[in-house]
Structures are given as C-alpha cells and as structure tokens.
Structure 1
C-alpha cells in the first residue's frame, strides 16, 4: 500500500430539517422514522458517501489542477468512518507520497498558507453543489421507502419537503499548513577502485572504516546500462580501514555457479563494478583494451 500524506481533514454532517421531522411524525412505527430518522440516514450511508465523493472529489482535483499540480501528484479523497446522531462522515484530502514529497511538490507552486486558505474557501462552492443534490436524493429515497412500507398511509400524506436535510462541511487544512521539508540524510564516501586483468584494488580514501564491503563485477563485450546484481562475479572484504588499500586476485571473484572471473583471453572487455557497504552501493565502469 502506497504511503499517503494528509493535507486536510473533512467532516461532513447531515441531519433532517424541522420540516422533515414533522413529515416523519406521520409514520410513528416505521423503521425509517426511528431515532428522528437517523436509522434511515445510517441505512443508506453508502448512497450519501457516493454522492459526497462525486461532488467533492472533482472540486478538490480542480482546485489543485488550477494551481498547477501535476496529474501524478493530484490529491484525492480518502474516506474514514461514518457516525450516527445525525449522519457524520469523516474523510481526508491526501496526496500519494511522503510528507517531504508533498512539501516539495506544493511549495513549488504556492506558499502553503495561501494554498491552505484556498482549500478552506472551497467549502461554500462544495456546499452549494452538494445541498440540492443531497436534498433531492434524501427526499426521493425516503418517499420510495415510505411508499413500500406504508402503502395505505402514504396515499393520504403529501411528499416529503424539498428541503429535507441540513448539511455542513468542515475543511481543516492545518495539516497542509504544517508540512515541512524532509530531513536530509548525508553520507559521503571516498573510494578508489582499479581493475586489471589480474587483480582488483580497493583503497579507502576516507577517515572512517568501511565495513561488510561487498564487490561485484560484470564482464560484457558491449557497453550495458542494466544489470542483475545476482549475475555478477562477487567477492567481499569484512573491513577496510581508513587509508587502507586491499588487493584481490580477479580469480577470487566467483559467480553464483562457482565460476571464476577471467580476463586472461586478452579480449577487450567492458567491466562494470559495484561496491557496497553498510551505507549504500557505488558503481564504477572500466574498459580493458585488447592485448
């Protein structure tokens, strides 16, 4: 699962209007009228979630597209829990990648406080689009349920009010305001590597010892840019002290089948060499001319 960074937290609340509660009082024993209609709102949670997503996701994407965020970095909605007692949905606006990645991408297009303010200002636009759609869907859904549940009573009762629910949306953009750049981790290495047809030479030019040094070499007739490390001829040095030079015979490097590395044929060869220690892998390239 890819790592994501939260830019803002959302809380969407939906509850029946006074007019709708009055309408529901006509159905004393119906399941959808229980708990002030909260049973109905909870039963159709996926419907409201889908509607929320269809309105909010394009709004959020559009906001970041307008500000120049590339397609591969576009934030999206990540859903959390829903709660009863009215109907409450928690969600978040997230971006794929680490906090450092999010900071780098967004700081490159705008100051973060300005970006956060604009995100909060989306609330009214989203509410204005969401309110009529949610009201229509709630009214139609509850009327259909009521007709199926109380066929006799519904003939004497008018349809539910158009303004069936009140909604609210909170956009908390504090996570976006608090983004910080990634902490830089530094490592420097001073190596000298040499290869001949007979030997391999490694010199530690730095002040710190190199531990668990692994070496791998590839021999090819043509220049290459891709390798599988497991296919190399390998050797190792448990410790290379500061300023120490170590020499290893080429024949001591073996592949996974136990075959020795051999340059004794005198043919020209491209030699790619990797050296790894506890901090990383370093690549070197050589060309041995024909003898």
Structure 2
C-alpha cells in the first residue's frame, strides 16, 4: 500500500495545510517516494498473498508509489503540505484497490489525477516495477487566491481553482479581492476545478499581479482589488499594509486619460526606491493614485 488508509477527506478540509507556496514563476519537480518494499499480491480481486507464478498479473495495491511532487524555484521540498499529499495518495489508492496493475488501472489513475485540479495536463502514470507505479507530469502553478465570502480559493495563472479552500488570510498566497462572481460549481455541486473562475475581473487581476511579482518591490504586494473594475474600469494594488495604490485599467492597455503602463511602473519603482517615503510603493500613504496625469496622495488616517 502507498499509505495507510484513512477516512476520505472532502475538498474542504477542516484544517487545510498553509501552503509554503509563493507566486513566483517556474515550477520544478522533485521525486518523493512514499510507501515501502513489500510482497506483491497476485490473482487480481480477492487474490491471495502467495508468491506470483510466472505470467500472472500483479494485483492492485502497489507497495510503493513514486510521485514527482512540485516545488517552486530552488526549494528542496515540495510546497504541498503533508495533509494534501496524503489526500492525493489516497485518491490514487482508491483507483487501485481490488484491481490488477494493468493498463486500465493506470489509465484510471491518470484520468482521476487529470480531473483533480492539481495538474496542468493529464499526468503520466507508469508501472516501474513489480509493485511500484510512478506519477509524473506538469503541476499547476499557484498564482493567488480569490477571496469570496470569507474564504480564500487558490487559483493558477489561468484562473483555474485548486481543489482546496482556506479561511481568509490563511492560504499564504496573494489575493484577489472584490471579485464579482461567486464560487463556481460543477455539475455535481462541488468546486469547479477544470474551468477558469468566471469573470473578466479575475482575468485582468491576474494580468496585473503577474508583472508586479517580477519587480524588486514584490514583497509589498499583497494582492489586487478588482472591486471597481466593472463600475469604474480600474484596478488597485493591495499592499502588505492594506493600503491601496490605484492602478487604473487593464495592464498593458491604453486607456484615454490615464498614464501609460510604462509610466505607472516607473512611478512604482521610483516610490519603492525613495527613502523620503519609506521606499514604499504607496509612498507611506493609505491611498496613492498613480493612474492619471498627476499623482494623488491621500494620507488620511496615516500615522
């Protein structure tokens, strides 16, 4: 067995792992082997524990599962917490119980993982030994979380939800706030992890967040507020102090009456390097508007 069986977990875990993930581009893979050596079982469903005779097909429960877990950047360990790894392993086990390790069983594991919301494309599942299977593939890359009704729902860079949710502020991710659409559900009423979260506001929010996280001041960026996108056509940067930097329209798009994207980015860089304003992208204010021809600074409520 890959792991000791436990009661099945729902997607909404009681105490989900706080991710060690960061919204930085580029996933690499590290192999983690779970399970251990054991005696293979023969005979398929209901088979005994005797040694396999020549030509028999090994039965379903592998004694080891090798999974190439995702890591970010130069990290040596996966960003997936132990609880989530156990859930994924249990899902694999559920596809193999009582079945032989044949092509059909391996295909079932691949299809299940492809629909799980963790992989970008269908992963490769291969039998690598008498009682060992290996799972490899391209994992989705965490981008941020959408905050809706006091819950945070992690998304990848295409806006697709991961199969997990958190209490607001506990995911360890940047957030999109002010999103109009409620939680998307699939045909059976569970979180839709296949399609992007609906709404252009999510798309443009991700489109602004990505370039901000490539800047030296990325540590000051806590997320993007899209609450005024459909009404005023503007986005705001949420800082780590919960202040707002009014950005304006979609990143990279010309908006009449607004500064260009290049000018806005130069303003952020200038503020982040100015010691007079704490080297802060918000210039130490509660609200800074960089969207127009002139900067508008609001220090109301600022100590």
CA radius of gyration, larger in: 1
Do both share a fold (TM > 0.5)? Answer: no
Higher relative contact order (CA 8 A, sep 6+): 1
Higher helix share: 1
Query: What's the TM-score once normalised by structure 2's chain length?
Result: 0.22
Higher strand share: 1
